[in-house]
Amino acid sequence: MTRVSRDFGDTMQKEAVPPVSADVSFFSDSFPDYKIGADNKILDPKEEREVPSMKDLIARETALLIEQQKRLSVRDLASKFEKGLAAAAKLSDEAKLREAVSLEKHVLLKKLRDALESLRGRVAGRNKDDVDEAISMVEALAVQLTQGEGELLQEKSEVKKLANFLKQASEDAKKLVGEERAFARAEIESARAAVQRVEEALQEQERISRTSGSQDQEELMKEVQGARRIKMLHQPSKVMDMEHELRALRVQLAEKSKYSLQLQKELAMSKRREENKSSLYEIDGAETLGSCLRIIPCTDNAPDLSRCSIQWYRVSSDGAKKEVISGATKLVYALEPFDVGQILLAEIVSNEQRVTLTTLGPIDPAPGLGNYVESLVRKPETEFNVVVTQLNGRDNPSHTIHVLHVGKMRMKLRKGRFSKAKESYSSSMQLCGVRGGGNAAAQALFWQPKKGNSFVLAFESERERNAAIMLARRFAFDCNVMLAGPGDRAHVGT
């Protein structure tokens, strides 16, 4: 019988059996749970963190979801289900990793058992018993590992069930959210339709109330007038009779005074004609602001006016002051606001023969023009539609509509968005009526915003032209500027 020495046993152990870690205790009841790390390194189980089991995680998440389901909105619940689904997927991945680790453990245990089996055939005595005990412990560890794998498979199936449940719940939540959105949109549309119906009803009611209100007001006025008529018919009083008589007398007095003034003017004109039977010319036209005065020949023997020199003057009502109207050298002169209250004089010179003509009396103001200007003064700015007929003394062929702005501080002429002139009131600015130029001169004015820049503007009517002149002079006077024409001495108070 061959004797096996200790050296032979050690040599066999070194050559045939791979070295076993010193942490392995064959006398203990458990076998250490090794884990293979990177580069096939054995990791110490003490260094691993304690990870809760799959059942605990699933139970915890399920309890939280059930607890919060009652107090979460539909959208939050859907979000939570999404998160739960992601957590289930993560747990499934962890379970797969643990399954892979379990397979590695089985491989290690098999290799270890094979090594022990090969060692048991080569040793004897007490060492053989230790090897048998180690094999039994490996087998027990394999049984425990198999049981763990069964539990892992059960947990895996539960995780799959939970994932399916969460997926179905997420789909249900999405469907519920879609239904809630559709219901909310339907409610919003119905609310909008109801609001529109209410607005239409309010507009219809307002229209009916306006119509009925105007009808009621008209009926009430008719009733009041009827009541007044009945009262006047059945209850006449001396006071009302006296008021009617006074009104009638006032109307008759106004008509007679107007007729008397007309007779006086006609009498003065007849006297003038009798006195000037030998006169060659006379002034024709209404002596009222807004009209034109024209020099006409009285006899066929009168020299041709086109060969005569003409000059118009302003004369005070008492005849003390005589002022030359610069530029008024035509047969026709358009009256302007400075002429109101003044007597106009025309001097005609032909072949060293001088003829002087005067108006019958001071120029009268235009009816209602003063009140119209006072209403415009209250506005910060007034616009007038005009046409530029002359620009810097030259005729302007374009007859497009411009807008003249007369403001409290300045005047502006613009066409559309572009300003052709915009100047504040100053001593260099001039403004007056056009002096001569035919019947249209009564609707035109001369405006010089600054030296070297002048316009002749035609208005829609004589009233608009005279109102623009008076308004601009009023605003300029407020700025301590006396606005007048070329060579004029501005009249205080005009």
Name the residue among 183, 166, 160, 179 with its Cα closest to residue 78. Answer: 166
What local confidence, expressed as pLDDT, does residue 475 receive? 95
Find the length of the chain: 494
Distance CA 436, CA 439 (A): 8
pLDDT per position as a tens digit, 133-177: 777 777 777 777 777 777 777 877 887 887 788 778 778 877 887
Q: By three-state DSSP, how is residue 238 classified?
A: helix
Distance CA 413, CA 386 (A): 9
CATH of segment(s) 369-479: 2.30.29.140
* Percent of the chain residues topping a pLDDT of 70: 68
| Single-letter residue type at 237 | S
pLDDT per position as a tens digit, 186-205: 888 887 787 788 788 888 87
| Single-letter residue type at 146 | T
All structural domains of the chain with their residue ranges:
90-159, 278-358, 369-479
- C-alpha radius of gyration, the chain, whole number: 60
476 — phi, psi (to 5°)? Answer: -65, -35
Between vectors from CA 440 to CA 393 and to CA 446, what angle results, nearest 5°? 35
Residue with the bigger pLDDT between 27 and 351: it is 351
Chain centroid offset of residue 303 CA: 71
Distance CA 150, CA 62 (A): 23
90-159 and 369-479, same CATH topology: no
* Percent of the chain residues topping a pLDDT of 90: 22
Q: Is the pLDDT of residue 44 over 60?
A: no
Mean per-residue pLDDT for 318-331?
87
Residue linked to tokens 């507009």: 203
Q: Calculate the average pLDDT of the chain.
A: 77
Q: Does domain 90-159 have CATH number 1.20.5.440?
A: yes
Residue linked to tokens 């699933």: 58
Distance CA 432, CA 468 (A): 10
Fold of 278-358: Immunoglobulin-like (2.60.40)
**Does the model's pTM come out above 0.85?**
no
